[in-house]
Structure 1
Amino acid sequence: MRSRSVLLTVAIIIGLFIIAALSVSPRSFAAQQSSDIPAWLMAHIGEREGQIAQVVWQRARALYQQKMSEGTVKNLCYFAMDATRLNDTGDGKLGRRFYVICESDRSFRAISVGHGSGRDLKGIADFANGRRCAKNFGNAMDSSLTAGGAYVTGETKTSFKGYYRVSAKQDAVLIRSFVQFDGEGETANARQREIGGHPAELLTNVCLRKEPRSPYANHDGYVPFGTLVDYAGGRSNGCTSWSPSDAGPIIAMVKDNPTTLYIYPDAADVDAVARAVVAGRSLSGAGLYWNASCLKEIHAPKFWSKETLGPILAQYKKDHPVVAQQPTPICKVR
């Protein structure tokens, strides 16, 4: 009889614990999650301009801690990118959606960054992105699309691009650095796709100018000469393109000292959000995240996998052979 009483008491206690656990509200659960955020970082977590969405930060931090524990990285800072946010805010400013987080010295920085332009294969497949918001994502070769997921920064390659005019009597040299990214999972082909980070600048209208004394002259004494274009407000070929002023410190930070970069959204996020939109479900209610302004513009995102898009691009390339590139013209005499 006594043993039955004890068992009954234990059962009641366990039942009370279960009821208490089930009665935890979503708000209480969210508060518990928020308690994992360092106090100094709390003001930077959110969905306002210059802030990082909580899910993006959590994944970026988890990736960084994993690679730190494995000994893959030792850098005191890590990166994140939210490709669902606005690139062009419409008021002459660029959206800040690339994040540099250094927890050791409690620093957080949000800067602008480009997204993959995609392509429009007329009459076959249109996976092009506008300047403001990215609708299409993917990991196929030659797709020019951003692929979200996990990356680790690799080696830095620096190359001479040519000369450009800065004043009536002065020229400058464009030497651009490129940080190779190495991915895993959906982003494992980052090296084959030549995906990495670099300044958003290039030379257009290039011609060859005779400069035999230049250390960059070819065997005939010519160097490329063109017009410098800063496309920080535009799109990329799928790489992470920073403004020239932001790129310098970032590239210096990871030179010979790799770190992690988590780009949101990955393929599963894109598919889940697309399904929720089609079903008319609330994203927050389904535990999903997408920037509200961009989602309103694009209606629903789409992920183009290499298995789906790869054969289409291969056939398009076969049907539209590249025209032989004409030799770079000689510059007219100044």
Structure 2
Amino acid sequence: MQSRSLLPFIVAIVGLIIVVLIALSGLPRSSAAEQASDVPAWLRAHVGEGEGQIAPVVLQRARALYLQKSSEGAVKNPCYFAMDATRPGGFTRRFYVICEADQTFRAVPSGHGSGRNVAGANFSNGIQCAKNFSNAMDSKLTTGGPYVTDETVTRFKGYYRSGSGKYVAFNRSFVQFDGEGDTANARPRAIGGHPAAVLRVACLRKDADSPYANKDGYVPFGTLVDYAAGRSNGCTSWSQSDAAKIIPMMKEPAALYIYPESRDIDAVAQAVKVGRSPSRAGAYWNASCLRQIGAPKFWPKEKLEPILVKWKEAQPKLPARPLPICKGQ
């Protein structure tokens, strides 16, 4: 009789624990339950903090976003994407392509925002580990949170000479991201995904037969710079070979989750401040990068944008100069 009388009490306690755990996860209840029970075995094999693996919280949130956006009809793409910006940059694999329908998981390198060092604030990032994050205009910093990929725009940038001596037209594709919350200003910030390559245009070369020639028969010509092992301007950048595979997969709008969010950054910074391990405080950060940066920082746009506006106003206004005509090209 005594055990029966305790049963409702035990059930209530268990239910309360489940509710608390769901609340702490930051996910809707249904999504948290699905994350716990529905992650297939083949995908669980890729979960972890080792090279090429995805951290549990990153998968949990990416998958919850995918399930939410799919149920709302906002995305129909069978694949979803994630990035862990707490991991080292360079050639460390930290951008994830997950397609549950055909049971494929792929991890590739990606860049993080370089930031700036301006009068009034130094929020620059090293190549290997990101310390600073922000959603401020012109900050050149990464912002973690939920996104949905949108249109892809491909633009001609100019010609460069390949290693074999051939003139090659460089067309770079850019996938626009749309966000919500801290990432809601992704479109005005021109935040998206693109190959980690840029053409440094030096001059105008005569090529009247080119479909890209201007009315006078000239095309931009310069040097192609590949920065796949470096940083970005706040966008998500991939090597040219990886971008050639990923960007077509985003032709259909897809869910994309980038970790960490501002709440994660604040939680880790607070844990470090009081001398606690982030994991013991229920937070996650890549251990090797945390040792390198000390503590991360999120710069909200309300704080950083006034500094950037003042800095830009102080910059000298240089007159625009037309490109010279190429010589010997």
1:58 to 35, 57, 60: 60
- 2:203 is paired with a residue of what secondary structure? strand
SS of aligned partner of 1:111: strand
Matched, 1:13 2:15: no
Residue 276 in structure 1 maps to residue 271 in structure 2? yes
Amino acid at match of 2:310: Q
Identical amino acids, percent of aligned pairs = 63
Query: TM-score of the superposition, structure 1-length normalised?
Result: 0.89
Equivalent AA in structure 1 for residue 106 of structure 2: R
Distance 1:296 1:306 in 2: 27
Question: Does residue 1:133 correspond to 2:129, yes or no?
Answer: yes
**Does residue 199 of the first structure (1) align with residue 223 of the second (2)?**
no
Taking a change above 3 Å as real, the CA distance of residues 249 and 332 of structure 1, as seen in their structure-2 partners, is: same
1:70 matches 2:72: yes
Given candidates 170, 185, 201, the residue that maps to 1:189 is 185
Partner of 2:100: 103
Superposed CA RMSD: 2.2
C-alpha distance in 2 between matches for 1:109 and 1:86:
17
Bigger Cα displacement from structure 2, 60-69 vs 200-209: 200-209
Distance 1:78 1:319 in 2: 43
> Compared with structure 1, are the counterparts of its residues 168 and 37 closer, same or farther at alpha carbon in structure 2 (3 Å cutoff)?
closer
The alpha-carbon distance between structure 1 residues 19 and 238, as it changes in their structure 2 partners (threshold 3 A), is: closer
Q: 1:333 corresponds to which residue?
A: 328
Structure 1 residues 313 and 20: CA distance shift in structure 2, 3 A: closer
Report if the CA contact (8 A) 2:127-2:231 is conserved.
yes
Contact 2:115 2:124 in 1 (8 A): yes
Are 2:172 and 1:170 equivalent residues in the alignment? no
Compared with structure 1, are the counterparts of its residues 167 and 16 closer, same or farther at alpha carbon in structure 2 (3 Å cutoff)? closer
Q: 1:269 to 1:328 in 2, by over 3 A?
A: same
Task: Work out which of the residue numbers 205, 217, 229 in structure 1 matches 2:213.
Answer: 217
What is the match of residue 80 of structure 1? 82
**SS at 1:105's partner residue?**
coil
- Give per-residue Cα distances to partners, 1:201-229, cap 9 Å, x unaligned: 11125211111111101111110111111
Task: Quote the residue 1:309 is aligned against.
Answer: 304
Q: 2:250 aligns with which of 237, 254, 277?
A: 254
- Whether contact under 8 Å (2:201, 2:220) holds in the other structure is no
Give how far 1:282 is off. Answer: 1.8
Matching residue of 1:266? 261
Residue 138 of structure 2: SS of its match in structure 1?
A: coil
Amino acid at match of 2:7: I
Gaps (5+ residues) in structure 2?
A: 22-32
Q: Secondary structure of 1:326's match?
A: coil
Change (3 A) 1:73 1:12: closer
Cα offset, 1:323, TM superposition: 2.1
CA distance in 2, matches of 1:175, 1:246: 15
How far off its partner does 1:324 sit?
A: 2.6
Report runs of 4+ in structure 1 exceeding 6 Å deviation. Answer: 18-24
Distance 2:263 2:326 in 1: 50
Q: Tell me the equivalent position of 2:24.
A: none
Cα distance, 1:37 vs structure 2: 2.7
Q: Counterpart of 2:45 in 1: which secondary structure?
A: helix
- Count of equivalent residues: 316
Structure 1 residues 274-283 or 106-115, which shifts more? 274-283
Question: TM-score with structure 2 length normalisation?
Answer: 0.91
Alpha-carbon distance, 1:333 to partner: 2.4
Structure 1: stretches of 5+ with no match in the other structure:
1-5, 27-31, 89-93
1:121 corresponding residue in structure 2 = 118
Q: Distance in 1 between matches of 2:154 and 2:49?
A: 35
Q: Deviations over 1:145-197 (max 9, x none)?
A: 00000100010101001111114542111011100000111000000000000
Amino acid corresponding to residue 40 of structure 2 in structure 1: P
